[in-house]
Amino acid sequence: MSVPIVGKVPFACDVCLSAPCLTPGFCEACRVADAQQQQSSKSETRPRPTPQSTIEAIMWAVRERGPQALHEPANIERLSRCDDAAISEIDGRIKKLEGGRHAS
């Protein structure tokens, strides 16, 4: 008497989506390449310096609307993306602006 196997279904390949996989060697190579790409993209993630355009956008708003422009949502978001060097530059430039306004 033979017992039927119930519920045993071959899984589809996660690369070619065939069940069973039609090209196991190729699909394995794809998995390895994908894993290597993910690993290299993680290791290449380095902080980049703040774009000068971001600094200039913040400074333009401050020149147009004063230091209270730093509390506007768009500038809060811009400031959150700034590195320490950019924050220092913005701070120094705002101090120069304020010095020029007080001298007038």
Of 77 and 100, more confident? 77
Peptide bond before residue 24 is cis, with ω within 30 degrees of 0: no
For residue 31, give both structure tokens.
């998995």
Q: Is the pLDDT of residue 42 over 70?
A: no
State the angle between helix axes of 52-65 and 84-103 in degrees (0 to 180), rounded to the nearest 10.
Answer: 30
Does some domain include residue 18? yes
Packing angle, helices 73-80 and 52-65, rounded to 10: 150
Over residues 22-45, the mean pLDDT reads: 82
State the pLDDT at residue 10: 56
> In this structure, are 60 and 85 located in the same domain?
yes
User: Per residue in 64-97, is it b (16+ CB within 10 Å) or e — as a string?
Assistant: eeeeebbeeeebeebeeebeeebeebbeebbeee
71 within a domain of the structure (yes/no): yes
| Residue 84 maps to a domain | yes
What does the block give as tokens for 56? 């200039």
Judgement on whether residues 97 and 70 belong to the same structural domain of the protein: yes
The verdict on residue 2 lying in a domain is no
- 79 is a domain residue: yes
Asked if the model's pLDDT at residue 64 lies above 70, the reply is yes
Q: How many structural domains comprise the chain? A: 2
**Mean pLDDT: which of 5-9, 22-26, 45-49, 61-65 is highest?**
61-65
Q: Which of 50, 47, 48 is nearest to 86 (CA)?
A: 50
**Quick one: 58 and 31 in the same domain?**
no
CA 11 to chain centre: 34
Q: Are residues 37 and 62 in the same domain?
A: no
Can you give the residue range of the structural domain that contains 88?
52-103
In a domain, residue 3? The reply is no
pTM: 0.55
Instruction: Give the pLDDT mean for 3-27.
Output: 73
